[in-house]
Amino acid sequence: MNVSVSSLDVVPIQMGAGLVSITVFKTSTAVLTSMVLVVSLSSTVLNILNIYTFLNLQQNTVSICLISLALSDLTSMLILSNGSIITLIPAIFDVPWARNVPAFHFLLALGHSLAMDMTSAITTYIAIQRGICVTLPFLARNAFSKNTSLVVCVALFLTMLTLTLLRLTAFRLNSVPDPVNNSSTLLVIEYYESRAQFEYFYFIVMKTALVFIEFGLMVVCTVAIYIGMQSSMKLKDKTASIQTHREIEPGSEASTTKRKIKDTKSKDDPQNATKDQPQAKKQTKESIVVKQSFMVVFIHVVLTTPRVLACVYRLLDSRFRVGGQLHNLFIIIFSAINVIDAINAFVNFFVYVKFDARFRMLLLTKVCCREPEMSKGS
């Protein structure tokens, strides 16, 4: 099978029509790479905390999804941080492997792409799951379980891995003599003749059709969750208002008599007075889970939008790619998108801390070695 050799040198192209100058290119990429390194390292630590904390909680369908999401985010952040380090070290020090950095970037980009695809797929599943739970609660009780979520997450990973592996069949990694230094070798990517067909399939299916389907489902489910939460709040307010109006006017003799009768029943039958408490706690817990899932999905939708738009433009404009006429702009934009991806993986920790009381308590006791503050009534 014939091959064409390309070292994939991700270097600035000389300034021309519609291109970013080399000075702007080098300055922008250096700043953005440093930002990616800082945020991705922070995100790595936080996602390790996410995984550790959720593993120590009682497992359910929600925690299984969030553990899978944290694992994909952790993988993505490890790849981004390593890619940033590989980029910055040759810029500061004279290392012998500096000319192999483009090949390293290419291989790391495949892993990062797989991790990001997995993150989007799991977030889409969370959105669908919560959307059905809000709109069709009776169906959700039978459709979603801990085992179901585990099977779905594994199936999503295998699907994304298979689609990504198809791209590997279009090239191979090889070592050739370095034309600059004959005593060393240079890692190159050798593309097969089938590269165009495979890349067309990859970008059409993975980066356009699949991304748009996931993005559309997340938007629809996010709107459904939001509408469901608003309807639930209105229903509670309406129910409370009806109960208030049914009560006899305060201060009247009938009202005083009724209150005395209720107090007497409560003292005689404490179980009757507290029989609705478990149901109320369950409803409150479900409401918090819905709000937490809504925030995770909503943040992902907002922060994924730039990547979706860039992938669409890449498909429409053949100049917007590595080695194309808009090479410099392409590298700068996707470096900025990497920063956004790192922020996306960073903020989930704070969403869990905000909405999940069990997450906060376990974080304090297991990680921070502090006793949680207990209420006086407990």
**pLDDT tens per residue across span 315-364:** 788 788 766 778 788 888 988 999 999 999 999 999 999 988 888 888 88
Q: In the CATH scheme, what is the homologous superfamily, with its name and number, of domain 28-244+285-367?
A: Rhodopsin 7-helix transmembrane proteins (1.20.1070.10)
CB-CB contact of 6 with 188 (8 Å) = yes
Least-confidence region, from 186-195, 252-261, 327-336: 252-261
Q: Report in angstroms the alpha-carbon separations of 320 from 43, 167, 317, 324.
A: 29, 20, 6, 6
Least-confidence region, from 98-112, 170-184, 223-237, 244-258: 244-258
**Mean pLDDT value across residues 110-123:** 89
Model confidence, pTM = 0.78
Q: Any idea where the domains of the chain sit in the sequence? A: 28-244+285-367
Per-residue pLDDT of 204-225, as tens digits, reads: 666 677 777 888 888 888 888 8
Per-residue pLDDT of 350-362, as tens digits, reads: 999 998 888 888 8
Token pair for 236: 């509670």
